[in-house]
């Protein structure tokens, strides 16, 4: 008989946890302990066996009700490790019995299907497959190069300092994220640096002015475009095209999958497809069994 254990944050063996994530069919960085520690502080876990199969619980409480939100800056979570449909059902049955509100993105290897799971997509490159940039992407890259733009690596304290200078204001003023949420990104970068999994690049002009800036994470299999910002929108020099090109080439011998981290919006999807990105569809589990009045309050946010 398969036994499912629910363990608190201070009981999680992070070494065993990360070993399971990294040995999974799709070892997404989102589920590594350093990532969850930053984006969902105090997260708990469901464990089968000796970490043979795991499921992160990103628990929050509001109005006395426990719920499972999808953490900021995070995509595919769900079940990892040795998976069967029976295993996934064990996890699923636990969470629907214990949480009144569930918003959890299930990773690509999760096969569970029901009326509460809708499709989401990102765009990826598999370095084992042939891919090529389209004409528009090549044209923008050439424009950036002809404008004298160059890509440089960012190291040390500049990773966080430049992120706070360029990305944080963009997230606050244009994406309208709260200071509390933006702080999670700062913490994620700090954790990722300690784990030696963050790679940051900047595009500069002849005078050293930054025209684009972006963070990427990689665990040796999954390379993720975490967050970036374009600073030459009015000039339209193709700086972000040059940045992404550099990152794709940089991780070609360091990862297997390059994840563009999104693409549901047509404009972004077209941008990523221009680099040869292919759709990766996965499930988004959403259940709301809150009392009616609380459902109304949630919908007003």
* CB atoms inside a 10 Å sphere around CB 266: 8
- What fold is seen in the domain 132-154+188-276? Aminopeptidase (3.40.630)
CA dihedral angle for residue 184, residue 191, residue 151, residue 211, rounded to 10 degrees: 20
pLDDT, position 62: 79
- β-strand partners of 50: none
pLDDT over 70 (residue 296)? no
Q: 49-87: per-residue pLDDT in tens?
A: 999 999 999 999 877 788 999 999 999 999 999 999 999
Summarize the chain as % helix, strand, coil (round to 5).
35, 30, 35
pLDDT, position 66: 87
Q: How far apart are CA 13 and CA 33, in angstroms?
A: 10
DSSP 23-37: TSSS--GGGSHHHHH
More confident residue, 296 or 184: 184
Q: 42-51: per-residue pLDDT in tens?
A: 999 999 999 9
Per cent of the chain over pLDDT 90 is 87
Per cent of the chain over pLDDT 70 is 95
pLDDT, position 206: 94
Give the domain ranges of the chain.
Answer: 4-121+282-299, 132-154+188-276
pLDDT, position 294: 52
pLDDT, position 264: 67
Token pair 């999760």: residue? 110
Task: Give residue 23's pLDDT band: very low, low, confident or very high (50, 70, 90).
Answer: very high
Task: Give residue 292's pLDDT band: very low, low, confident or very high (50, 70, 90).
Answer: low
Q: Which range, of 141-150, 162-171, 203-212, 231-240, averages the lowest pLDDT?
A: 231-240
Contact 199, 218 (CB under 8 A): yes
Contact 47, 73 (CB under 8 A): no
Span 26-33, average pLDDT: 98
pLDDT, position 1: 65
Among candidate residues 69, 64, 41, the one with its CA nearest the CA of residue 301? 69
Q: Strand order of the sheet with strand 44-48?
A: 4-7, 44-48, 53-57, 80-81
Structure letter (DSSP) for residue 78: S
Span 23-39, average pLDDT: 97
Q: 143-156: per-residue pLDDT in tens?
A: 999 999 999 999 99
Rg (CA), the chain: 20
Q: 181-220: per-residue pLDDT in tens?
A: 999 999 999 999 999 999 999 999 999 999 999 999 999 9
Contact 251, 126 (CB under 8 A): no
pLDDT, position 177: 96
Q: At what angle do helices 239-250 and 135-146 cross, to 10 degrees?
A: 100
Q: Which range, of 56-60, 71-75, 119-123, 290-294, averages the lowest pLDDT?
A: 290-294
pLDDT, position 265: 73
DSSP 79-129: -EES--HHHHHHHHHHHHHH-SEEEEEEPTT-----TTEEEEEEEEEETTS
Span 127-141, average pLDDT: 95
Task: Give residue 236's pLDDT band: very low, low, confident or very high (50, 70, 90).
Answer: confident
List C-alpha distances in Å: 156 to 178, 182, 189, 193, 195: 26, 20, 11, 8, 13
Q: How far apart are CA 301 and CA 298, in angstroms?
A: 6
Secondary structure element (H or E) that encloses residue 218, with its range: strand 210-218
* Secondary structure class of 20 (helix, strand, coil): helix
Average pLDDT across the chain, whole number: 93
For domain 4-121+282-299, give the CATH number: 3.40.630.30
């Amino acid at each position: 008989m398969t036994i499912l254990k629910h363990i608190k944050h201070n009981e999680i063996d992070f070494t065993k946890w990360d070993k399971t994530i990294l040995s999974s069919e799709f070892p997404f960085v989102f589920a590594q302990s350093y990532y969850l520690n930053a984006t969902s502080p105090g997260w708990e876990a469901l464990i089968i066996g000796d970490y043979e199969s795991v499921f992160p619980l990103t628990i929050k409480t509001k109005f006395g009700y426990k719920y499972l939100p999808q953490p900021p800056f995070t995509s595919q979570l769900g079940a990892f490790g040795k998976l069967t449909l029976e295993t996934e059902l064990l996890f699923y049955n636990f969470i629907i019995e214990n949480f009144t509100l569930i918003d959890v993105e299930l990773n690509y290897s999760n096969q569970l299907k029901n009326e509460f799971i809708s499709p989401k997509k990102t765009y990826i490159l598999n370095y084992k497959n042939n891919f090529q940039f389209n004409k528009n992407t090549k044209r923008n890259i050439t424009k950036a190069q002809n404008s004298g733009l160059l890509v440089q690596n960012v190291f040390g304290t500049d990773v966080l300092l430049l992120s706070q200078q360029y990305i944080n204001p963009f997230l606050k003023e244009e994406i309208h994220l709260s200071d509390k949420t933006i702080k999670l990104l700062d913490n994620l970068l700090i954790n990722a640096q300690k784990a030696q999994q963050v790679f940051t690049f900047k595009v500069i002009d002849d005078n050293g002015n930054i025209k684009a800036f972006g963070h990427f994470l990689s665990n040796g299999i999954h390379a993720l475009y975490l967050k970036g910002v374009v600073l030459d929108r009015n000039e339209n020099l193709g700086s972000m095209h040059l940045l992404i090109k550099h990152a794709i080439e940089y991780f070609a011998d360091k990862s297997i999958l390059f994840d563009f981290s999104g693409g549901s919006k047509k404009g972004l999807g077209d941008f990523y497809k221009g680099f040869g990105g292919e759709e990766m569809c996965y499930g988004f589990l959403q259940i709301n069994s809150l009392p009616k009045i609380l459902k109304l309050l949630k919908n007003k946010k």
